[in-house]
Amino acid sequence: MSQAHSVIRVAIAGAGRMGQAVAAGLEDQDDMELVGLWGRGEDLASLVQAADVLIDFSLPDGTMQALDAVANYGKPLVCGVSGLSDTQMVRLDEVARTVPIVYDRNMSLGVAVLEHSVREAAGSLGMDFEVKISEVHHVHKKDAPSGTALKLGEAVAEARGEQGTGSVKFESERRGEVPGDHEVIMRSPTESLSFAHSVTTRQVFADGAIRAARWVTGKPPGRFLMRDVLFDN
User: Which positions are annotated as active-site residues?
Assistant: 137, 141
Backbone angles phi, psi at 190, to 5 degrees: -120, -15
Q: What's the longest Cα–Cα distance across the chain?
A: 60
Torsion, Cα of 49, 50, 51, 57 (10° steps): -70
Residues contacting 45, CB < 8 A, separation 6+: 69, 72, 73
Q: What does each C-alpha distance from 205 to 60, 112, 139 come to in angstroms?
A: 17, 11, 19
